[in-house]
Amino acid sequence: MGYLTTETLPPELRTTAPFPTSRFLQNLKLLALCSAVLIAVSCGGGGGGGSTTPPRTTPSQVATPTISATAAQNGAQVVSLADSTSGASIYYTLDGSAPTTSSTRYFAPFLIDTSATVTAMGALSGDTNSSTATQMFSSSVPTDILVWSDEFSNSTGANAQPNPSLWTYDTGNSGFGNSELENYCAWGSSSSPCDPANPNAYVGTDGYLHIVARNPAASVYTSARLKSQGLFSFDYGRIEARIKLPEGQGLWPAFWLLGNNITASPWPACGEQDIMEHIDAPSPDWVEGSIHGTGLNGGIQYLGGGASFSASDWHVYGMIWSKGTVSYYVDTPSNVYATFMNSGLPAGEVWPFESNGGAFVILNLAVGGNWPGSPDGTTPFPSEMLVDYVRIYTN
C-alpha cells in the first residue's frame, strides 16, 4: 500500500494560493476526505487488491492429530502422526496417559515393537491445545527378532536411487562442524560439483549401497551423507549394518545416530551415538564407537581383541541400546567391546539418550576434516563405502 498525498486528491482540493478565510473550510474538507480514504483502504476498498483478514480476538483450537501406521517386520509397526494446523507441534505418550507440552515431541515416524497406546495432542502458541487422539497397538515381538531393515535390494538392472521413503541427504560443503572438505551430493543433484551421471550414493545391481567419494578436480571432493531424519526413527533396540570400509588418508566413513530432537535441542544436547567411525591409521587397524552429549564425550577403539583386524574387509558393526545403556560390538552381539552407562556420570555430563524422542540413522563418507586430516597423493579416488544392509532387532 502506497503513501497518501495531495496529488491523489481531486483538482478542486489542490491549491497553492495564499491562505484565505475559506482555507479553513477547505482544510476541513480535505481532512474529511483523507479520513474517508484511509477508512476505505483499511477496510479493503479503494482497489487495494482485496480485503485483509481482521485480527483474531479469540484463540482457535488446534486440529486433533491423526495417527497412522505401516507394517514393519514380524509384527512391528512404524507410527506416523500428523496435524492439519500449520505450525502446530505434536506431543505424545505411549502409555495412554494424557500428553502435555512436556511430553515427548514428535519429529518423525517411529518404530514400535511392543503393545502401546499412542495418545497425541497438537499445540501452537496463542491457540488452544487440540483434543487428544488415541490408538492402541497390540504387538509383542520376542527378543532378538528382526523388526526393520533396508536390504538395499535392486532388480532394475541399473544403479538405483536409495529408497526415498527411508533416506534423505545432507548436502553442501559447510564443513559440518569438522572443517571437512567434501561437497555432499544428493541423488540426482546437478549442483556443481555434483554430477548426476556419477552419483555419490546409489544402490548397485550387486545389492549394495555405494557411498562414493570422488575427486573431480584439484582440491575438489564430492561424497554423500544419507540420513533417515524426518522419515524413520527408533528408540531402543539393537541396530547393525554390514559394511566394507575404504582405507586411505583423509577418508572418514561413519555409521551413526542423532537424536530426533536436534532441531529443537541442537547438537550436542540432542545426543550422538557413533556406532562406527574409521580413519586411516598405523597398524593395527581399528574402528571406534563413541557417544556425545552436553559435557559428555566417550570413545573406545576396537582393535580386533588383539587379533588381526582389517576395516577393508566386510564386518558387521552394531549397537545395543537399552534404557540407560549403550553398547557397541563388531561382527556379533556377543563381541561387545564398549559399554557406556547413564549411572554414575560425573557432574556436568548429561545423558541424552532417553530424552530425545528416538534417533535417526546416518551413513556417510567424509573427506578431510579435523580428525583424519586432508587427503594426500596416496589417497585413492574414487573410494567407496559399501553397505550390505541396515537392520534393527528387538532386545
Residues assigned a catalytic role: 272, 277
Helix (H) or strand (E) holding 119, with range, is strand 116-123
Distance CA 393, CA 148 (A): 7
Question: Would you give the DSSP letter of residue 346?
Answer: P
Question: What angle is formed at CA 392 by the lines to CA 81 and CA 117, rounded to 5 degrees?
Answer: 35
C-alpha 6 chain-centroid distance: 55
Distance CA 91, CA 264 (A): 13
**Contact, 235 vs 104, CB < 8 A?**
no
The C-alpha cell of 115 is what? 503393545
Which residue carries 491549491 as its cell? Answer: 15
User: Any residues with CB less than 8 A from the CB of 282 and at least 6 apart, and which?
Assistant: none
Distance CA 337, CA 291 (A): 14
The C-alpha cell of 307 is what? 587379533
Secondary structure class of 261 (helix, strand, coil): helix
Cα Rg for the chain, rounded, in angstroms?
Answer: 29
Beta-ladder partners of 211: 201, 385
Distance CA 356, CA 25 (A): 71
Of 230, 339, 236, nearest to 290 (Cα)?
A: 339
User: Any residues with CB less than 8 A from the CB of 283 and at least 6 apart, and which?
Assistant: none
Please report the DSSP string for 222-253 in residue order: EE-EEE-TTT-BB-SEEEEEEEE---STTEEE
Of 187, 194, 198, 248, nearest to 222 (Cα)?
A: 194
Distance CA 389, CA 351 (A): 29
**Contact, 222 vs 183, CB < 8 A?**
yes
Distance CA 31, CA 346 (A): 73
Distance CA 122, CA 342 (A): 31
